[in-house]
Amino acid sequence: MDRFVIEGGKILKGSVTASGAKNSVLPILAASIMAKGASVIHSVPDLQDVRTMLKILQYLGAKVSFKNGTVEVDPQAVNKNDAPYEFVKTMRASISLLGPMLARSGKAKFSLPGGCIIGPRPIDLHIKGLQKLGVDIKIEDGYVIAETKGKLKGDYIFLGGAFGSSVLATANVMCAAAVAKGTTVIEFAACEPEISDLANFLVKMGARIEGIGSPCLVIKGVKSLRGAEHRVIPDRIETGTFLLAGAITRGCVAVEKCQPIHLGAFLEKMSETGIEICAGKDFIEIKGKNEWKSTDVVTLAYPGFPTDLQAQMMAFLSLADGVSIITEKVFPERFIHVGELNRLGASISLDGSKAIVKGVKNLFGARVMASDLRASAALVLAGLAAEGTTHISRIYHLFRGYHKFEEKLMSLGAEIKREKDTI
């Protein structure tokens, strides 16, 4: 396994370009199997999760190519409708194939996605939504076995759960509803930009969807969908991560070809800490300061502060002047990074779904271990700011969701290198 070795204290300066959004491209690739013909998707980041999704599409029988950021999927030869455990266990997002499979063949057999380090990952809303469209679903031997008796039929579906909306449940139900008989209303739909991106791709395929970007989607089912060409939106989480790399190292970093409009809550929080932000139509520049103020953060579904930036923001606030309270409302157990940040000298304590972050003057290099994708990014940010050397093991988590992560950081002046993990 590889590790990162980071010499902290370097001030990051310069600009990077945002990659395509991982959480858009995964459900869009899944949806491509619903088309009668081939689809072409541009701005696809070369990530492990993308490679996993392409492997699953090939396992199902699709013809797939991936060159220079463009993926072509021809689903005409798809003749399977199951997703075995070995795929689902490596990538929970494979659940986004459930709706498209049912839309394509009326059948799907899926290994239950296990829980993961950020907490239990139930799928009750996926099941509830699909059952409302006429799908028979049972759970047997760790598998979801789903089948439509006859055609999918539209209905009114309230998709809110204990934690509010669900991104991938909205994706699954929207895909199935796109070819259901009649009209489907999805109330309490997720409004994440990645869901709007998927909806826009479905419309290009011939789907009829109104209310895109709102919590109420109205979908008029059509007989069939055609292949389409689509460019994926920029990754707002990657963008926020690099802006925080600039801020935590007291540097000046710009992210180009991003969509500032997708980061309203994050930018609002950053300005509360006193950091200077300049944003244009497709770029954001952060001018770091020697000191910044604490602020309180509550993670919520979009347009609230994104849970996928919580860990990275915590790293930044661990060096703020004052105490910040971070409340995790989406995944209340998503604090695996707290222990490792404290090993780097942070002073963070937990109280249920709240983290109390007492700002310290300095962080100090140490040996830490990455755990999940976003927690790993937080450790890199802390290592960049820490005095001395930080070794981060198990960095494979990072490559699931960040394209050329260390190269982009090095281009900003970070001293970070990848080496074989000896322990």
Residue identified by tokens 């989607």 is 217
* List 57, 97, 167, 265, residue binding ligand EPZ (CB under 6 A): 167
Q: Of 382, 338, 337, which Cα lies nearest the Cα of 356?
A: 338
Q: Tokens representing 371?
A: 């755990």
The residue (of 157 and 363) whose beta carbon lies closer to ligand EPZ is 157
Which string of DSSP letters, residue by residue, matches 325-363? EEEESSSTT--HHHHHHHHTT-EEEEETTEEEEE--S--
- Per CB under 6 A, the segment of 52-60, 167-175, 335-343, 390-398 that binds ligand EPZ is 167-175
Half-sphere exposure (CA, 13 Å, Cβ side) for 270? 32
The CB-of-1 to ligand EPZ minimum distance in angstroms stands at 20
Catalytic residues: 116
Binding of ligand EPZ by 122 (CB under 6 A):
yes
Binding of ligand EPZ by 215 (CB under 6 A):
no
* List 43, 48, 94, 166, residue binding ligand EPZ (CB under 6 A): 166
The CB-of-372 to ligand EPZ minimum distance in angstroms stands at 7
Q: How far apart, in whole angstroms, are the C-alpha atoms of residue 100 and residue 94?
A: 11
Q: How far apart, in whole angstroms, are the C-alpha atoms of residue 364 and residue 120?
A: 32
Binding of ligand EPZ by 93 (CB under 6 A):
yes
* List 25, 31, 35, 168, residue binding ligand EPZ (CB under 6 A): 168
The CB-of-272 to ligand EPZ minimum distance in angstroms stands at 22
Q: CA 124 → CA 21, 144, 169, 172, 283, distances in Å?
A: 26, 11, 9, 12, 38
The residue (of 195 and 320) whose beta carbon lies closer to ligand EPZ is 195
* List 19, 23, 39, 249, residue binding ligand EPZ (CB under 6 A): 23
Residue 223 has φ and ψ, to the nearest 5°, of: -70, -45
Q: Of 175, 179, 171, 174, which Cα lies nearest the Cα of 153?
A: 179
Stretch 377-416 residues interacting with ligand EPZ (CB under 6 A)? 401
* List 125, 152, 344, 348, residue binding ligand EPZ (CB under 6 A): 125
Q: How far apart, in whole angstroms, are the C-alpha atoms of residue 129 and residue 132?
A: 5
- Per CB under 6 A, the segment of 39-47, 162-170, 200-208, 241-249 that binds ligand EPZ is 162-170
Q: Of 330, 260, 319, which Cα lies nearest the Cα of 293?
A: 319
Instruction: Pinpoint the alpha helices (H) of 208-363.
Output: 236-248, 264-272, 310-317, 336-343
Distance of CA 19 to the CA centre of its chain: 13
* List 3, 104, 126, 391, residue binding ligand EPZ (CB under 6 A): 126
Binding of ligand EPZ by 369 (CB under 6 A):
no
Q: How far apart, in whole angstroms, are the C-alpha atoms of residue 68 and residue 264?
A: 31
Binding of ligand EPZ by 161 (CB under 6 A):
yes
Binding of ligand EPZ by 330 (CB under 6 A):
yes
DSSP conformation class of 402: -
Binding of ligand EPZ by 321 (CB under 6 A):
no
The CB-of-139 to ligand EPZ minimum distance in angstroms stands at 13
The residue (of 61 and 264) whose beta carbon lies closer to ligand EPZ is 264
Q: Which residues make up the interface to ligand EPZ (CB under 6 A)? A: 22-23, 26, 93, 121-126, 161-163, 166-169, 307-308, 330-331, 373-374, 401
